[in-house]
Homo-oligomer: A and B are copies of this chain.
Amino acid sequence: YDYDGPLMKTTVPGPRSQELTKQLGDIQNVGAVNFFCNYEDSRGNYLVDVDGNRMLDIYTQISSIPIGYNHPALLKLMTNPNNLSTFVNRPALGILPPENFPDKITESLLSIAPSGMTRVQTMACGSCANENAFKSIFIWYRNKERGHNTPSEEELTTCMTNQAPGCPDLSILSFMGGFHGRTLGCLATTHSKVIHKLDVPSFDWPVAPFPRLKYPLEEFSRENAQEEARCLEEVVEDLIVKWRQKGKPVAGIIIEPIQAEGGDNHASPDFFRNLRNISRKHGCAFHVDEVQTGGGCTGKFWAHEHWGMDDPAEIVSFSKKLLTGGYYQKDELQADKPYRIFNTWMGDPSKNLFLVEVLNVIRRENLLEEVTRSGKALLNGLYELQAQYPGLLSRARGQGTFCAIDVRDAATRDRLLLQARDKGMLLGGCGDQSIRFRPALVFKEYHVHIFLNIFNDVLAQN
């Protein structure tokens, strides 16, 4: 059901997109709008815009479309009359779940649970997933500090006006370059771009450097291992001790398996295993944020599976390609009382319905193998291009189709993105000067070749 290639009728944004952008500009800030889309006509890997341009989509709505546009399996689900009421009646899941909720969760989220985890909490997006995961961590940590879960009279009173000890000075350690969302709790752990953080009050929480590795990783393993050790031993452990001394103990450590928004920064399985050990040693919860890396794009369902650990984390959060937000947790992280982790909707069962189908398609069509295959072709192609254009491209890197490459400078990167778009290639930037590749799981090897051919033309112009 896929189209057979890009087809461009205008430069992008075309006249109709420009008109709509003007209309929307009276209602909202439209500075980030790329163009307007015709989602009815979009199919598979191709996004069609309102001017009739058809683009190969390697950005997929900021990495959130799992199996392409208008997948027949998802359309079919919509025509089943038994499913209608799930869309029409959104329940307050925490108090009045629908009959099929335990089964749908078991069929979907539990069937892909990370090693060691049997509990999952749905939420509506990546931000409320991380915010509530932090709350679970804080509650768990305080109960551990207390040695029991009965708060003192003073805690009960002070918490109502935001004061300690009821609202304790606990912290979450995060990494420079990390991105974990933009609500105020999440934002205190996000350090990817100034524009996300400027002017917003925050918490005094510790920020560790993320190792800056050399690519391809296999070629620089000794230097990279030194850089990783420097970050862990000299800095992370130091920060944990320092913040404890400051009276703001580190209750949890949050990290992405690959820093995405911050520029596609990788680290080795060893780095993550050592960090996991440090978290254990200091009694901090280890929270792996798989909002962008989860869902199969690295060739395994979760990127942390590449670390090969039985007990990878206390918490794994997700959203985007999983369609629903949420997080898995180890039993002991489950909040001790109801209504501590709670909100009106607690997710959306209509998204769980879609997720069941998405997982069926992933299994039926062996999409993780496809991703591994396409990813290899993509990364090899990028290696060749950077050999061919050494002044322009560098640091090609990736796992599965979750790839990136650096461009000489930000201005050139931005120009390349626009030139590629006018030739029917939709790509995204990340970090200061990187291009990130975030195709859907149905991006096959021949799509890679369509991309490489056109991208080669673009590079030849520069």
Stretch of A154-162, A270-278, A406-414 lying at the B interface: A154-162
Quick one: closest B residue to A78, CB to CB?
Answer: B84
Given contacts A134-B184, A160-B191, A345-B64, A24 and B197 within 8 Å (CB-CB): no
In contact, B142 and A199 (Cβ under 8 angstroms): yes
Quick one: closest B residue to A340, CB to CB?
Answer: B195
In contact, B198 and A20 (Cβ under 8 angstroms): no
CB of A328, distance to nearest CB on chain B (Å): 10
Stretch of A29-37, A218-226, A304-312, A394-402 lying at the B interface: A29-37
Given contacts A91-B39, A339-B195, A105 and B156 within 8 Å (CB-CB): no
Given contacts A183-B183, A197-B159, A64 and B90 within 8 Å (CB-CB): yes
Scan A224-239; emit 1 where CB is below 8 A from any B CB, else 0: 0000000000000000
Which residues, 16 to 31 on A, are CB-close (under 8 Å) to B? 16, 20, 23-24, 26-31
Residues of chain B with a CB closer than 8 A to A198's CB = 139, 151, 155-156, 159, 166-167, 340
In contact, A78 and B88 (Cβ under 8 angstroms): yes
Quick one: closest B residue to A125, CB to CB?
Answer: B124
The A interface, classified by DSSP as helix, strand, loop or mixed, is loop
Interchain CA distance A98-B17 in the complex, whole Å = 10
CB of A110, distance to nearest CB on chain B (Å): 7
In contact, B125 and A343 (Cβ under 8 angstroms): yes
In contact, A199 and B139 (Cβ under 8 angstroms): yes
Quick one: closest B residue to A201, CB to CB?
Answer: B170
Scan A244-267; emit 1 where CB is below 8 A from any B CB, else 0: 000000000000000000000000
Scan A63-94; emit 1 where CB is below 8 A from any B CB, else 0: 01100011100110011001011111111101
Quick one: closest B residue to A323, CB to CB?
Answer: B90
In contact, A200 and B24 (Cβ under 8 angstroms): no
Quick one: closest B residue to A141, CB to CB?
Answer: B199
Residues of chain B with a CB closer than 8 A to A91's CB = 37, 39, 61
Interchain CA distance A140-B344 in the complex, whole Å = 29
CB of A340, distance to nearest CB on chain B (Å): 6
With beta carbons under 8 angstroms apart, the residue of B34, B62, B87 that contacts A87 is B87
Which residues, 193 to 211 on A, are CB-close (under 8 Å) to B? 193-205, 207
Judge if A14 is at the interface, Cβ distance under 8 Å.
no
CB of A162, distance to nearest CB on chain B (Å): 4
Judge if A268 is at the interface, Cβ distance under 8 Å.
no
In contact, B92 and A74 (Cβ under 8 angstroms): no
Residues of chain B with a CB closer than 8 A to A199's CB = 135, 138-139, 141-143, 151, 159, 166-168
CB of A299, distance to nearest CB on chain B (Å): 22
Quick one: closest B residue to A348, CB to CB?
Answer: B348
Which residues, 341 to 389 on A, are CB-close (under 8 Å) to B? 341-345, 350, 354
In contact, A20 and B204 (Cβ under 8 angstroms): no
Quick one: closest B residue to A329, CB to CB?
Answer: B28
CB of A123, distance to nearest CB on chain B (Å): 9
Interchain CA distance A122-B257 in the complex, whole Å = 30
CB of A91, distance to nearest CB on chain B (Å): 6
Judge if A127 is at the interface, Cβ distance under 8 Å.
yes
In contact, A341 and B29 (Cβ under 8 angstroms): yes
Interchain CA distance A118-B34 in the complex, whole Å = 23
Given contacts A169-B201, A170-B201, A198-B156, A71 and B99 within 8 Å (CB-CB): no
CB of A95, distance to nearest CB on chain B (Å): 5
In contact, A88 and B61 (Cβ under 8 angstroms): no
With beta carbons under 8 angstroms apart, the residue of B36, B65, B191 that contacts A97 is B36
CB of A424, distance to nearest CB on chain B (Å): 15
In contact, B36 and A201 (Cβ under 8 angstroms): no
Interchain CA distance A171-B79 in the complex, whole Å = 49
With A131-B183, A167-B197 given, can you name 19 additional A-B contacts, CB distance below 8 Å? Answer: A27-B110, A27-B119, A29-B335, A32-B95, A32-B339, A33-B94, A39-B91, A42-B85, A61-B344, A64-B344, A87-B350, A126-B343, A134-B184, A159-B198, A159-B199, A161-B207, A168-B199, A195-B337, A203-B203
12 of the cross-chain contacts (CB-CB < 8 Å) are: A24-B97, A24-B102, A27-B110, A39-B86, A61-B96, A69-B89, A79-B84, A90-B323, A124-B125, A159-B200, A162-B207, A195-B340
Question: Considering the complex of A and B, which 5 residue pairs feature the smallest CB-CB distances, nearest first?
Answer: A31-B338, A184-B185, A162-B202, A167-B202, A32-B338
